[in-house]
Structure 1
Amino acid sequence: MISTLSLMPDFMDPVKLIAYFGTWALVGLLVVIFVESGVLFPILPGDTLLFVAGMLAAGTAAQAEVAAEANFNIWLLLVTIPVAAILGGQAGYFIGRFIGVEMFKPDARVLKQKYLDEAHTFFEERGPFAILLARFVPIVRTLAPITAGAARMGYGAFTLYNVIGAIVWGCGITLLGYWLGQFPIVQKLLEPIFILILVASITPMIWEWYKRRKAAATEG
């Protein structure tokens, strides 16, 4: 039977990605989190990567070889992951502020205009609080800081919500993986768990799309 994860590119499989980094797993993990937090490459497995990192820090038997090579320490993860996420968000803010949104094109392969439009709508409806909420929504998580910078959102307000969001998101999902990783049954259910995390992550974006479509139909 072909698994769902086997159909994805290797860089979208968090276990394969961490295994690829080998003894540099922590550095690789932090680079991915930094980039996905606001540096123009929104298609990365941030949520599942944090979950797996926490799980490996728990020393799970099913991934013993990967865990031994990665050698994650939960306390080190809880400090460094939020820092990488904060710095990525701050970088995204300055990219938006000084470069703007000209690099987004309708026919682009990665930096699609529709992604930026979705992030902008999300931001307009919720104000600075959207920066915190966006942490839990793939793609929007990357583009919200850029949109905030381009819209000249106050730097202090952005930084406050960026820091809070990075800590809640980074520590929360990592701790969830660490806690659940101590149960053997979780090892047998990794793929369903990854799919569940993915569905939970994109549900807010789908809901926003549905509301906008419904509102447009009502106005029409």
Structure 2
Amino acid sequence: MDTSAARRNILARIRSAQGRHGTSTDAERAAADDYVTRHPAGPRPPLPQTRDELIARFRLEAERLATTVAEVEALDDAPREAARYLQSLDLSTDVVAWPALSTLPWTQAGINASLRRPEDADLVGITGCFCATAETGSLVLLSGVETPASGALLPETHIAVVPASRVVAAHEDAFALIRAERGELPRAVNFVSGPSRTGDIEQTIVLGAHGPYRVHVIVVRGA
């Protein structure tokens, strides 16, 4: 469902209540960008800085969230690791993958990859990520034609390919990277922190409540 019209109407009412009318002007956008740039960052705990430290912290926090993590040297090694993981759990190697990952050697690794948006019947989804945060072990996914958000939400098993160069320290760094590289937020930004879970019933944690039962991350050292 396209919610763009509803979003525009809500923002228009907010602008009207502020005594401003019409769409935002170049001067308003420039003032907002200047404020974000100059606004001091809030206090943060000490965080790792080097690539090796960031990867180690990301792995530690991700595994605390029940995410499994493997490391490979090159992007072309990712399909083979995905196949190993799926076969180790006796899971299907029929997967749906982001179109953005179309150049990887899926067939050679023994994976039948459909490069499209997931459907309800798809059991395994493979995605990349925009970046990942070491502080919380989270994946940051930006929606788009080549990177559909449903790839990490619908399938029971989610495998994510994470270039080591895209592991940042914290959420603040992730949003700063989005602003620097994209200029504005896409339609959906998802922070994936381990398998879906809930503790609503008798405070008992149940995995796979609202999304994947399992999340496996492939960190690519050379990317």
Identify the structure with the greater helix proportion. Answer: 1
Same fold (TM over 0.5): no
- Shorter chain as denominator, the TM-score bin is under 0.3
Identify the structure with the greater strand proportion. Answer: 2
Q: Which has the larger radius of gyration?
A: 2
